[in-house]
Amino acid sequence: MGLKVLVIGSGGREHVIAQKLIQSPLVEAVYCAKGNPGMKQDGIRLVDIEEDAHEALIRFAEESQIDWTFVGPEVPLLNGIVDDFEAAGLKIFGPKKAAAMIEGSKDFAKNLMNKYAIPTAAHQTFFDFKQAKEYVERKGAPIVIKADGLAAGKGVVVAETVEQAVDALEDMLEGNRFGASGAKVVVEDFLSGEEFSLLAFVRGTEVYPMTIAQDHKRAFDNDKGPNTGGMGAYSPVPQISQEMVDEAIATVLLPAAEGMVKDGCPFTGILYAGLIATPQGPKVIEFNARFGDPETQVVLQRLTSDLAEIISDLLEGKQPTIDWKQEGFSLGVVVAADGYPNDYDKGAVLPDFTALEDARVYYAGVAESNEQLVSNGGRIYLIEAEGESLAQAQQRVYELLDSKDTAGTFYRTDIGSKAMR
Ligand code: AMP
Ligand code: GLY
């Protein structure tokens, strides 16, 4: 009898995680709560339970004899789903609520970085608009304003002028736009340099780094337009040197994991460092307590080991085997609804991507209508391909997308291009 595993979440990130788990010879069945109908193409079984319904999820896991559960998104982690499953005697992979605070509170993350000398932008925390305004006027622009709590990628304003910064502060501290998450604001220096995402499997002080990736956060080509959840990614990132990555492991990931153990909130799960490669070395712009979306859709293509075996070993206290491809690249392009990240329509009929050769599709905001997949969210799906070169991977993805009718949706046409200039 093979393993029965449950994945919590419903996006493209969870689609690729569940797909990699189902490909494992150790695994008999993969359930996803609540998943999306696009996942069914890969044999993933959907469970119609919301991700915040901890008791119902626990009951499902018990009744279905789930061996272990993997948590995709941050919200359930910060709601304490790991604490609740463990209290019920169930195995689950992810940080407890206290450790997920590394993502849930910018102030928590900044305190950890200060305490353990982890390189990050100089910063200060404010509750008071007048004091924050004075600080910004003294520091000058460009400067970065961050709402303290989770804000689904919309809590960060990179202000190019002091005026923009003051407007953002007013919005967050005096307005109500961010609710409770705007009552506290972190103001930090603008860092210029190439961004990269470094993720790792972490168990207490043990850190197993993954191959790095680069996300594209802005909605439109040439990094124009509003910030989004991420419009595409590729892995690895040739313009970031191995020395830079090694330095980030040594100065960021290891001290963060060790610091959290010392502080009594050990982290077990996926730790994600968003970094900027500055002339002084890598500096942290954010931590996440989970896999990134869309980074995961490319990073997991690089994994040659068995994901289910890695998670099982980490949960059982065994030493995991984690190997990565040394050649080639993976690149993924997100297709989003026209209008995203603002208001958008739903219900566009999606092209048929069954029987793909040399490429993969990962679904996110989709629904079923008359046995067809239709759009039902902002980010709808991602097309991923591998290549010996980044240019080849990019060409495969865009050839496929350009050959389909993508009416009602849009995608960036320059994912990965920065690395080829
Ligand atoms: P975050 O939500 O923290 O990932 O921030 C969103 C985006 O804002 C990042 O992907 C960066 O492009 C940018 N950003 C955040 N912090 C800084 C910083 N200190 N300096 C420059 N850019 C930043
Ligand atoms: N792609 C960025 C994130 O998942 O936070």
> pLDDT, tens digit, for every residue of 25-41?
999 999 999 999 999 99
Q: Kindly give the number of the ligand 1 atom that is closest to the alpha carbon of 274.
A: 4
Give the pLDDT confidence of 252-266 residue by residue, as tens digits.
Answer: 999 999 999 999 999
Residues 308 and 201 in one domain: yes
103 CA distance to ligand 2 middle (Å): 11
Both 143 and 198 in a single domain? Answer: no
Q: Distance between CA atoms of 236 and 214, rounded to whole angstroms? A: 8
Question: For the CA atoms of the chain, what is the radius of gyration?
Answer: 21
How far from the centroid of its chain's Cα atoms is residue 112's Cα? 21
Question: Tell me, what CATH number does 239's domain have?
Answer: 3.30.470.20
pLDDT of residue 384: 98
Measured distance CA(310)–CA(24) in Å, rounded: 11
Residue 232 pLDDT: 98
**pLDDT at site 154:** 60
- List own/partner pairs for 41-47 with CB under 8 A and 24 or more apart: 41/354, 42/15, 42/18, 44/7, 44/15, 44/18, 44/19, 47/6
Please report the atom of ligand 2 found closest to the CA of residue 291: 4
Q: Give residue 226's pLDDT.
A: 87
The tally of CA atoms less than 13 A away on the side-chain side of residue 180 is 4
Spell out which residues line ligand 2, taking CB within 6 angstroms.
215, 230, 288, 292-293, 295
Would residue 107 count as lying in a domain? no
Count of domains for the chain: 4
Q: Residue 91: what pLDDT?
A: 98
Within this chain, do residues 309 and 338 fall inside the same structural domain, yes or no? Answer: no
- Domain presence at residue 84: yes
State the Cα–Cα distance between residues 296 and 14, nearest whole angstrom. Answer: 9
Residues 333 and 413 in one domain: yes
Ligand 2: which residue has its CA nearest to atom 2? 292
Determine if ligand 1 sits within 6 Å of the CB of residue 215. no
Same domain, 376 and 408: yes
Ligand 1: residue of 113, 145, 285 to mutate (most ligand atoms within 8 A of CB) is 285
> In this structure, are 223 and 153 located in the same domain?
no
| Boundary-marking domain end, from 120, 152, 183 | 183
For residue 421, the model assigns a pLDDT of 79
Which amino acid would we find at residue 192? S
Assess contact for 156 and 132: CB atoms under 8 A: no
- Mutational test site, ligand 1, from 74, 144, 189, 198, max ligand atoms within 8 Å of CB: 144
The enclosing H or E element of 158 equals strand 156-159
Q: What's the pLDDT score for residue 34? A: 96
- Alpha-carbon 151 to chain mean position: 14
Q: Which of 118, 124, 158 is the best mutation target for the ligand 1 pocket, counting ligand atoms within 8 Å of the beta carbon and taking the most? A: 158
Domain housing 394: 329-420
Q: Which residues of the chain have pLDDT under 70?
A: 151-154, 175-182
Cα(154)–Cα(178) distance, integer angstroms: 9
Q: What is the pLDDT of residue 182?
A: 52
pLDDT of residue 176: 61
